[in-house]
Structure 1
Amino acid sequence: MLKGLGGLGDMAKMMKTAQDMQVKMAQMQEDLAQIVVIGESGAGLVKARCTAKGEVTGLDIDPSILIPSEKEVIEDLIIAALKDAQAKAATRSQQELARLTEGLGLPADFKLPF
């Protein structure tokens, strides 16, 4: 009878899926802000804490390396620990995103806008 209306059901289903995805993405963003990763350098002498969103939340420096003449080495270790933490945060974020897209039935290589 109204064959063309069959597509509207598909459109409504797509809209519902998009809304569900939006809610899940918002929840994932909140979750990423709570997940903490730790980057290290100098065999653990410098540790940087970072959320899975990439926000640096803390730094721990072993007092044994706080020698004024070693200032440049300490700075390099801090930078290395921060980079390690941010790399781990990016990896964790991608893992969480892959889990979300898989749960929504999207292809594993589906790119979302963030």
Structure 2
Amino acid sequence: MKDLMGMMKQAKAMQEKMQGLQEEIGNITATGESGGGLVRVTLNGRSELTALSIDPSLAKPEEKDILEDLLIAAHAEAKRRLEHEIQEKTQALTAGLQLPGGLKLPF
């Protein structure tokens, strides 16, 4: 019975840590660039686009296709950076826990 109470305490502590982690992740930002910095995209921890910067030299009708490609590339880089930072924070929180393989946190 004592082990069960200990496990319950650990589960409660882990739940509180996960809530803190989710709040922390929500405050993370990641910026991706493309075209040598001509296009910049910033995402928050919920993968929401929070900022976009486009160099004025790309605001020409004949540059439309290039601009679209650069936006996609900058977004992909920002998303990759964001996912990497979230993974690092999650691993730091769950270090030492015996979790099943392939389990992605936070849920």
Q: Same fold (TM over 0.5)?
A: yes
Q: CA RMSD in A?
A: 1.7
Q: Percent identity?
A: 42
2:63 corresponds to 1:70: yes
Query: Residue 37 of structure 2 aligns to a residue in which SS?
Result: coil
Query: How many angstroms apart in 1 are the aligned matches of 2:18 and 2:84?
Result: 17
2:71 corresponds to 1:56: no
What is the aligned partner in structure 2 of residue 83 from structure 1? 76
Query: Residue 91 of structure 1 aligns to a residue in which SS?
Result: helix
* 2:57 aligned partner, one-letter code: S
Does the 8 Å CA contact 1:35/1:52 hold for their aligned counterparts? yes
Task: Note closer, same or farther for the CA distance 1:61–1:22 as it changes in structure 2 (3 Å cut).
Answer: same
Task: Note closer, same or farther for the CA distance 1:108–1:45 as it changes in structure 2 (3 Å cut).
Answer: farther
What is the aligned partner in structure 1 of residue 91 from structure 2? 98
Count of residues in Structure 1 that have an aligned counterpart in Structure 2: 105
Does the 8 Å CA contact 1:53/1:90 hold for their aligned counterparts? no
Task: Note closer, same or farther for the CA distance 1:90–1:27 as it changes in structure 2 (3 Å cut).
Answer: same
Query: How many angstroms apart in 2 are the aligned matches of 1:81 and 1:106?
Result: 35
Structure 1 length normalisation: TM-score? Answer: 0.83
Q: Which runs of 5+ in 2 are unaligned?
A: none
